[in-house]
Amino acid sequence: MDTFMGRYRNVTFLAAAIFLQILGLAIQIKRSTENESSRLIRLWAVSIVAPLEKGIVRVQSSGAGIWHSYFYLRGVRQENRDLRDQLEQLRLEQVRLKQDADQAHRLQALLGFKEQFIGRTTAAQVIGSSGSEQSRLVYIDKGSDDGIRNEMPVITADGVVGKVLSVIDGSTAQVLLINDQQSGVGAILEQSRLQGVLKGRASGELVIDKIMADE
């Protein structure tokens, strides 16, 4: 920017010096005896001064226009950056609102589930297990006499832990845990909202299988 101003400042000083020299020459000629030679010189001086003066005015106007355009473009770029920042903030706020709405729907569904089913639950205790590392089975002290049926879900305060695999008798039932390799339950990832099937491995770890996008 300093180079730009310095370049046009030098041109202005040079043009001003030439203008003053020619102006002085024209004044001297005007005071002398009027003849054809002096008239021609004066015309020559005027013909040189006029274009220089117009050029100086154009350069000054052009410089002012460049400065105006420069500051205008800087203002436009800053406005664009501000608008992009505002749009990003709005997008993040929209995502947060959607997450809050999804959470409200989940809580409402959970409340409806509790109102519908919790009153009909039966408390049970684990009285045994399969004793196998490859199978995740436990036995509970409730059976057909307590209204237990096959495929009923088994839950704790933390959520689903398995399902009733078999009702053995009136006071005993077999439960298949969700970390068994033969088990599977629908699940939704909290952060990404992806849906899949929660399954067990031989080690007893849980993995999400058959992941699909949340619609």
Q: What is the pLDDT along the chain (215 residues), one digit of tens a residue?
A: 444 445 455 556 556 656 666 666 555 555 554 455 555 555 565 566 556 656 665 665 665 666 666 667 777 788 888 888 888 888 888 888 887 787 777 777 766 666 666 567 788 889 988 766 667 889 999 999 998 999 888 888 777 888 899 999 999 999 988 888 888 777 777 677 778 787 877 777 777 777 765 54
- Phi, then psi, of 169 in degrees rounded to 5: -155, -160
Report the predicted TM-score, pTM, of the whole model to 2 decimal places. 0.43
- Evaluated on CA atoms 51, 55, 58, 60, the torsion sign reads negative
**Backbone phi and psi for residue 186, each to the nearest 5 degrees, phi listed first:** -65, 140
Quick one: DSSP state of residue 203? T
Q: Do 179 and 136 touch, CB atoms closer than 8 A?
A: yes
Alpha-carbon distance values, 178 to 94, 135, 169, 208, 211 (Å): 35, 11, 23, 12, 17
Residue count (the chain): 215
CATH of the domain spanning 121-212, picked from 2.40.10.340, 3.40.50.300, 3.40.50.720, 3.40.1160.10: 2.40.10.340
